[in-house]
Structure 1
């Protein structure tokens, strides 16, 4: 199967949307930014080439003015809060979590408040009141305290709505019971749904065909009027296959009338 042909299912799906006079929204969330790097430069330049807005989930405790100065002249960059230190506090038998129920609630919320304030000062024009939990996991008991800090939205990995039937092979949502906690006053859920990384295998890019299948599945299942296709990346660990995939994805979608890349702030507002 050629590289062109593996993209055909997505192109066909977008063509059907266009024929029906409909359009799908896409957004890009990239995690773990702390400082200017060659990899971040590559991501931002690639996205800029195709006018794709980028949401950077920044780790507050490890970042400084260096990143804010680097991004000051960049358009279409939004800054979200990626926990506090991205440190695991779960015991070895559990999945990694910084925002789990392993520490007092007030301690975790205090750290999130510090992270919120720190990034808002560093990035006054691009800061978005969006919390991205490290490893896409957060204890549901923390949700009620987020609006008081200033957060208006949460972003994890998986569907915003509980599926009505068993998912045929789709990835299990990492957010656990978070979906069932929404909707809730003062807090939106704007998730990512397609991860390009093979975390449990090569730790490089997943098979391009499988990623495309995930995008098509998301297009089929989502509410086009209220939801988007969230693409999740981690610029610091991309191999060449990831860069190739993103370049082709941006090229195809940016030129197609049935899809548009959105700022996450626009998705939160709607």
Structure 2
């Protein structure tokens, strides 16, 4: 266990869950996989060491056999569709988006269809029919068209709202994206995680999603993932679940 006092609020909240004999469901999503890298190896080794299942959001356009071969024996890893090329088509003065209506809808949907089919073929036993939109953004007008391609759910960021397809969202982002890139201070992430746990204790049954980006991690980010698993894997109040468990 970590000795750091900044993790104490999480321990205190989990003790409350344990005393109430309750469990919370967590799932782990890592974005932007394309090929084997030392950073991906490091992430996979943490999954193995702590026996935590992970969903990799794989960018279908540029990915190929090497990644599939790297993951083939990793039975805790699932493959999900991360857009098509993770390319931004939004104007410079707006938030980045690949899956918007900045291009003809038919083109965007065709890419999502191809991405689904490509990853399903590359990962016959590890694929789950989940779309992870790049930058966690997708135009609502596209959502009703996903099911015919085989998609069963979408994963963006924040508490789930009503949608024409299942939502399995992430709620904890460990990264600082503005200014100097890298992991957020641990105390800041823990504060957010405790808020999500309190929300679940009060009755929201949505699983808590933790989002990472292995290619962007610095020592602070890697340290958070390792300590999080150390604190929670095997904990009486925590169930780390594969994302496929939440897809109906």
TM value normalised by structure 1: 0.88
Matched with 2:7 is 7
Q: Say whether 1:233 aligns with 2:212.
A: yes
**Moved beyond 2 Å, runs of 4+:** 222-226
Matched with 1:100 is 100
Q: Say whether 1:260 aligns with 2:235.
A: no
Q: How does 1:77-156 map to 2 (within 5 A)?
A: 77-156=77-156
Q: Say whether 1:249 aligns with 2:224.
A: no
Matched with 1:72 is 72
Q: Secondary structure at the residue paired with 1:18?
A: helix
For the 8 Å contact 1:194–1:215, the answer to whether it is kept is yes
Q: Secondary structure at the residue paired with 1:62?
A: coil
For the 8 Å contact 1:27–1:228, the answer to whether it is kept is yes
Aligned counterparts of 1:268 and 1:12: Cα–Cα separation in 2: 31
For the 8 Å contact 2:75–2:126, the answer to whether it is kept is no
Q: Deviations over 1:135-169 (max 9, x none)?
A: 00000000000101110000001111xxxxxxxxx
Matched with 2:61 is 61
Instruction: Identify unmatched segments of 5+ residues in structure 1.
Output: 161-178
What is the CA-CA distance between 1:201 and the residue it aligns to?
A: 2.7
What is the CA-CA distance between 1:225 and the residue it aligns to?
A: 6.7
For the 8 Å contact 2:47–2:76, the answer to whether it is kept is no
Aligned counterparts of 1:77 and 1:85: Cα–Cα separation in 2: 21
Aligned counterparts of 1:183 and 1:59: Cα–Cα separation in 2: 24
Q: How many residues align?
A: 246
TM value normalised by structure 2: 0.96
Aligned counterparts of 2:110 and 2:153: Cα–Cα separation in 1: 17
What is the CA-CA distance between 1:93 and the residue it aligns to?
A: 1.4
What is the CA-CA distance between 1:229 and the residue it aligns to?
A: 1.4
What is the CA-CA distance between 1:267 and the residue it aligns to?
A: 1.6
